[in-house]
Chains A and B, each alone.
Chain A
């Protein structure tokens, strides 16, 4: 029983982090065709925001509550800054944004190394997060449960925003048909900016969860960015449900393969499975139907 449930639970927690990292990617990719390789560094920014908040507010329980909006704002503003300073000039060359953001991620990583030191710092979890609950004889850490709850809450908020608010309607309109949305009076430029802010902010929240699990580290973004992209590729762009299912699937798959072989084999096998999966569904799980040729 243990061999079956443990990876499932751990994998769901990995999937939750991947979901938070991938939501921003799929939003910006689906809407603007922009591949943001610096998204991993927004996870890192969120983690460091958590660390700094804990330095300021000594109560661990309260500091985590404060850290979530702080991480969202810090990462979101970084994303906004990136959009305004660089990305907005490159909307006609989406593939090039991939490389430009690679450059940005290098700079941000080195910046973190220079400011916070190369070693990384631990983040103390509050007392209510240190325990574990018993699931079929496996002591499941509260931290993983917290990660899942955090991701689900963020997902719920994002879903409600997309579905109910007028801003959400504008986003969906822009994703489906940018020109037509513009004709209807939607300022797609503003929508793009806000989407970028939202997506980066979500990665920042993911950073809070990572900080609680493994502490901060200048290179933690690179660990998550590729799996997060595989989630986007497998899930299809522009819709939330594909990303959710793919994140969960990749997380659980990685955990099971890690359990059976090793962490490094898991990466290779996950990659191979995604490539095989693309043979069946080259556009990912779900796609927004368009009549465009591209």
Chain B
């Protein structure tokens, strides 16, 4: 960080009258403007090509299945990027919303596996074989799909409204969301007869009528989640360049000023919080058929922090950073925990420390700096010549 700063000041110090790239000519600035607006769309396009065209052909079914899992985390990470990177709300409990979507989907698939009129197997195992009434609506696939979006939206709205309207922010907000994750996972573990407890829900056979063990179905599941990821990125891209995106960043940087301008910062943040929750929920819902399990360890505080790790690594405020970071952390976890099972925790801890200490805006923040460095060098070279 410091070396970068001195280098740029040196570059300007050599040639103080060097024309700034944006001020050079209106034509050039409009092209830069265009690149700024659509450049990230180009990035999404490249990512879409990699995920949807290259990966299905190049990767083995096993690796593709892993990538599908990472994409689920990436979906949640894109939401965290919106809430934390742009909105300044450190959401440490996204596992809860991941879990709401995941458990909704898992309940439906459990009921589908049991067949109409039957009760999921674990309820006979742990309980007396009767099903709680709130399970019943999840027999319907349509209801489940609606619930995957509506449930987290409702929960995040109520919680966000209660917390944000009272101007609870910063660390308080972060701690409350993490406490929510802890409470949620403890509740799940305690309700073994209703939610499968510590083991969670697993042992599925069908996903909306499709046989889960069929390789073609698995591939389609991957394509669905990758497609959803690209879709969410496009939505977030549009949000970022809209008035709402401007307001969100302004709220993050100077909440009081936004309030003085006549906006209610709580409403702005609430929208970001709810959108982030819904994205996490969709990720969780797709996680269930792909991973074949959802358990408290997928949704607790540790899992939520894992999601944050990806976002921090990729770059919280950038568009593609959170998604790329989440995929990278997922990949790192799979490969490293296979080779060195105990050392993974050290890696994870060190990742947080190193990234936040030296690279607070993630790896994607290196890109513009690199570009600026190259640009400045070229400009000084031009003006010297």
Contacts and interface: CB of A to CB of B under 8 A. Distances in A.
Given A35-B175, A95-B170, A104 B356 contact: no
B55 to A, nearest CB: 30
Contact of B178 (A93, A226, A264, A293): A226
Given A95-B170, A98-B174, A293-B256, A226 B348 contact: no
B299 interface: no
Contacts of B176: 233, 271, 274-275, 278
Contacts of A99: 90, 308, 312, 352, 356
B90 A265 contact: no
A86 B349 CA distance: 13
B179 A230 contact: yes
A150 to B, nearest CB: 26
A265 B187 contact: yes
B171 interface: yes
A262 B301 CA distance: 20
Interface string B173-198: 01110111011101101100000000
A229 interface: yes
A52 interface: no
Given A114-B342, A265-B187, A103 B171 contact: no
B357 interface: yes
A276 B159 CA distance: 10
Most B CB within 10 A of own CB, among A113, A232, A264, A279: A264
A274 B190 CA distance: 21
Interface in A267-282: 267-268, 271, 274-276, 278-279, 282
Interface residues of B, number: 41
Interface string A227-267: 00110110000000000000000000000000000111101
B231 interface: no
A288 interface: no
Contacts of B312: 99
A86 B345 contact: no
Given A279-B166, A293-B256, A103 B180 contact: no
A175 to B, nearest CB: 16
Interface residues of A, number: 43
Contacts of B171: 29, 33, 35, 94-95, 98
Interface string A73-114: 000000000000010011001111011101111110110011
A264 B189 contact: yes
Given A233-B175, A262-B190, A282-B166, A107 B346 contact: yes
Interface in B149-174: 159, 162-163, 166-168, 170-172, 174
B348 A106 contact: yes
A272 to B, nearest CB: 8
B162 A275 contact: yes
Contact of B360 (A93, A94, A103, A267): A93
Most A CB within 10 A of own CB, among B168, B170, B189, B352: B352
Contacts of B175: 35, 226, 229-230, 232-233
B113 interface: no
Contact of A264 (B174, B187, B346, B348): B187
A106 B163 contact: no
Contacts of A100: 352-353, 356-357
Contacts of B349: 102-107, 110
B350 interface: yes
7 contacts: A98-B90, A99-B308, A103-B351, A106-B345, A107-B346, A226-B179, A233-B175
Given A104-B352, A230-B179, A282-B166, 6 more contacts: A33-B171, A96-B356, A103-B348, A110-B345, A263-B186, A279-B166
Interface of B: 88, 90, 159, 162-163, 166-168, 170-172, 174-176, 178-180, 182-184, 186-187, 189-190, 256, 301, 305, 308, 312, 342, 345-346, 348-353, 356-357, 360
Interface of A: 29, 33, 35, 86, 89-90, 93-96, 98-100, 102-107, 109-110, 113-114, 222, 226, 229-230, 232-233, 262-265, 267-268, 271, 274-276, 278-279, 282, 293
Shortest Cβ-Cβ A-B pairs, 8 listed: A103-B352, A106-B349, A264-B190, A107-B349, A282-B166, A110-B345, A264-B186, A103-B349
